[in-house]
Amino acid sequence: MNAGVFSESNDMMCLPTLREDLEIEKGGSFLNGSPSWLIHDPLRNQFFRVGAETFEILSVWRNVTVPQFCNLASRLLKRNVTRQQVDETAKFLYANQLTYEPATGEYKAYLEQETAKQKSFGAAMLHNYLFFKIPLFDPTKLIDLCWPFVRGLFSRTAVVALAILAFASLYLVSRQWETFTSTFMGFLSFQGAVFYGASLIVLKFLHEFGHAFMARKYNVPVPVIGVAFLVLFPVLFTDTTAAVRLKQRNQRLMIDVAGILTELAVAIIATLFWVFLPDGPLRSIAFTTATLSWALSLLVNLNPFMRFDGYYILSDALGLENLQERSFAFAKWRLREILFKPNVKPPEIVEKKLQTLLIYHAWGTWIYRFFLFLGIAFLVYSFFIKVIGIILFIVEILWFILLPIWRELRIWWQLKSHYKTFRSLVSCSILIALLIVFFVPWSSRIDMPAVLKSSNEFHVFPPINAQLVEANIQEQLQVKKGSVLVRFTSPNLAANMLISEKRTQLLKTRLDRATVSELELSSITVLQQELAAEKQKLQGLKEKFQSLVIRSPFDGKLVNVDRGLNAGNWVSKQQPLSILIAPNFMKLYGYAKAEDMDRLKTGQGGYFIADGFFKKSIPVTLTEIAEISEVELTDSLLTELEGGLIPAVKDNDGTILPRSTWFKVSLKISNQNNDLTMKSITRGVAVIEAEPRSFAYRVFNQIAFVLIRESGF
């Protein structure tokens, strides 16, 4: 119904007639202590709570014109009843279809109202995918049949007994805590998942019957137990809507906590069974039931940020119906006040402490649901084929995260006439600045993890285990080609050379004698072969001994010098002592992200910055770009495995695999005579100046890239 239907120009229009099947009864008190009344619509099993003013107007409601009703109501109620009060009451009745026909007198208006609620096929499918309910059965007869047998479990005595058993079970488990925790680790398997799944189904049914039996205790009808699907995730529910009729808040709270108390009772009993049962299937069932019951009761069911038991417990404890809608309204109002201070009245008048609690509850709900729905979106994406998973993922993000934000932004725009304060000016300025930063293409740099190393280097190490005689190596020392770097000696090698020389001399003597002695003529061939072999061995020993003197193969600079070397030290073979590099022959390569490839071109300039503080930048030029991405990485220095920037993992055979798509690029150092203090390998970042792109473009480009990649197109 539109505002203004009962304006003065429509004084001849009669008020709609109330439905005769409606039931109105006294309800509990509002939070401020004022009385309330409940209107029960039996056709839809819905309840509407109204205050004393609305109830008084409904108690004298007549199918007459507005002026006539205002006069009649003022006389009967002995107070002034205004046209605005009547108009608001009529709009409330019409919006909830509590009259036979709308105020306009045309029954078709209700039909149009229902038609407007009908969704298109696509919207209906979308809504049913996000949330739908399936009633399973009417538990009334079963509850009445079982009630005489379970009545005692829903008494104060049973609660006290369970509390005593809880302390006993926790104490006994603490005596076997190591066994208990090790048992939990043993259930992290497929068999454990089966046990937990079966226990979960049984527990949730017991949970719902806990609500149902507690409702039966207070004579609250339970018409249905069913299952609701939140993004295809099943959640059992019990319809205890009629509990709103209970005038005592503690009775409603007992129905709210009955499911949790039931699960806690199961947890306590299962824990005791685990303590006393021997190892076997029964003890395994007791363990899974106990751990699952404790976890669900304390971590899930008490959560006040979703419409589970914790939410309704908080709602009834505060005496606030529609807690979520009201807290959201306060949080949005408070957010607008912080940002713009439009001086708009709060949604309703409540105490300051309660208002603060509602605001914090709403903000906590927003944060919790953001991460929850984001996780559900990833879960849905993982369980469906690629294309459908991506579509459902986008639907999740749009429906649960972006759509509420968009609705709030529209309200901000509608309230723009109120934004005439200094705070509004500051907030709008910050918002504009953020939009400029986000959308203006100001960032032109592309950062790439890179490595600078010499293309010509010589590793200094002894060829064998040897003793150091002389070391002419120092960090950053410039050396000439042919210079002696280190000199080693090996007593064993020297002794072997001496033995080989003497044996060679002996063989020569024997060979000389054989040519003049008839007795040794037959051994000449053998002696010649032995002498040749010994000479070859001696030559090898001499070459190895000469290799103990290591000379510089080219002009260069010494880096990575082992500073713990002293004459007389023994050095194991191939122990690196230093690296000789040719500073004028440096090579630089890096890796570019896939989303930056369209901005990279050969010939672009930039600079390389080595890791560490106070490092000089080296001018570079992009010379080569790989056409295909790297399947595996040969250099682990740039990966996260060694503190680099490239996410990577190492498989079973030691191959390093990047987690995302990277392309190798080569860069040329513009000034080879750069005075940067070099190591053998220097890690850093290569920065290339490219076409400017806004942060928004980069975000959307990255999203598109991931979607295309994951869809398999």
Return the CA Rg of the chain: 42
- Could you give the CA distance from residue 376 to residue 410 in angstroms, rounded to a whole number? 27
Mean pLDDT of 220-237: 83
- Asked if 668 and 585 count as a contact pair (C-beta separation under 8 A), the reply is no
In sequence order, the β-bridge partners of residue 683 are: 451
Mean pLDDT of 142-158: 90
Give the range among 233-237, 511-515, 568-572, 662-666 with minimum mean pLDDT.
511-515
The pLDDT score that the predictor gives to residue 513 is 72
Whether pLDDT at 707 is above 70 = no
| pLDDT, tens digit (0-9, with 9 covering 90-100), for 485-499 | 888 888 888 888 888
The pLDDT score that the predictor gives to residue 3 is 45
The continuous run of DSSP H or E covering 415 comes out as none
Whether pLDDT at 169 is above 50 = yes
| pLDDT, tens digit (0-9, with 9 covering 90-100), for 256-266 | 999 888 888 88
- Could you give the CA distance from residue 84 to residue 613 in angstroms, rounded to a whole number? 72
- Could you give the CA distance from residue 449 to residue 622 in angstroms, rounded to a whole number? 14
Listed by start position, the domains of the chain span 8-118, 124-319, 321-442, 457-578, 583-711
Give me the DSSP letters along 252-265.
HHHHHHHHHHHHHH
- Could you give the CA distance from residue 574 to residue 462 in angstroms, rounded to a whole number? 6
- Could you give the CA distance from residue 329 to residue 332 in angstroms, rounded to a whole number? 5
* Maximum average pLDDT range among 110-124, 191-205, 607-621, 645-659: 645-659
Whether pLDDT at 614 is above 60 = no
Q: What is the DSSP letter of 574?
A: T
If one compares 593 and 389, the residue with the highest pLDDT of the two is 593
Strands annotated E in 204-244: 225-230, 233-238
Mean pLDDT of 438-463: 81
Place of tokens 């607008």: 336
What percent of the chain lies above the pLDDT cut of 70?
83
- Asked if 166 and 268 count as a contact pair (C-beta separation under 8 A), the reply is yes
- Residue 560 in tokens: 């990575």
- Asked if 216 and 302 count as a contact pair (C-beta separation under 8 A), the reply is no
Give me the DSSP letters along 645-703.
SB-EEE-TTS-EEESS-EEEEEEEES-TT--PPP-SEEEEEEEEEEEEE-HHHHHHHHH
pLDDT band at 122 (very low <50, low <70, confident <90, very high): low
Mean pLDDT of 111-139: 62
| pLDDT, tens digit (0-9, with 9 covering 90-100), for 323-351 | 888 898 888 888 888 888 777 788 877 78
* Maximum average pLDDT range among 94-98, 357-361, 582-586: 357-361
pLDDT band at 215 (very low <50, low <70, confident <90, very high): very high
- Could you give the CA distance from residue 467 to residue 300 in angstroms, rounded to a whole number? 69
Give the range among 90-94, 169-173, 362-366, 703-707 with minimum mean pLDDT.
703-707
- Residue 460 in tokens: 């200094």
Whether pLDDT at 236 is above 70 = yes
Whole-angstrom CA distances from 204 to 255, 273, 323, 630 are: 16, 20, 25, 50
- Could you give the CA distance from residue 35 to residue 20 in angstroms, rounded to a whole number? 24
The pLDDT score that the predictor gives to residue 142 is 92
- Residue 534 in tokens: 């010994």
pLDDT band at 382 (very low <50, low <70, confident <90, very high): low
pLDDT band at 217 (very low <50, low <70, confident <90, very high): very high
- Could you give the CA distance from residue 205 to residue 208 in angstroms, rounded to a whole number? 5
The pLDDT score that the predictor gives to residue 214 is 93
- Asked if 688 and 448 count as a contact pair (C-beta separation under 8 A), the reply is yes
| pLDDT, tens digit (0-9, with 9 covering 90-100), for 275-326 | 888 877 788 788 878 887 777 667 778 888 888 888 888 888 887 777 888 8
**460: region left, alpha or beta (phi > 0 left; psi from -120 to 50 alpha):** beta
The pLDDT score that the predictor gives to residue 147 is 92
Mean pLDDT of 520-529: 71
Q: What mean pLDDT value characterizes the chain? A: 79
Give me the DSSP letters along 434-458.
HHHHHHS--EEEEEEEEEEEESSEE
Which CATH code, of 1.10.10, 2.50.20, 2.60.40, 2.40.30, is assigned to 583-711? Answer: 2.40.30
Q: What is the DSSP letter of 521?
A: G
Residue 573, φ and ψ in degrees, nearest 5: -65, 145
Start-end of H helices in 384-478: 386-397, 403-414, 422-439
- Give the closest residue to 575 by CA, choosing from 459, 680, 488: 459
* Maximum average pLDDT range among 36-45, 145-154, 226-235, 634-643: 145-154
- Contact partners, residue 59, CB within 8 Å, separation at least 6: none
pLDDT band at 211 (very low <50, low <70, confident <90, very high): very high
- Residue 95 in tokens: 């919006």
The pLDDT score that the predictor gives to residue 103 is 52
Whether pLDDT at 32 is above 60 = yes
| pLDDT, tens digit (0-9, with 9 covering 90-100), for 402-437 | 888 888 888 878 777 777 778 778 888 888 888 888
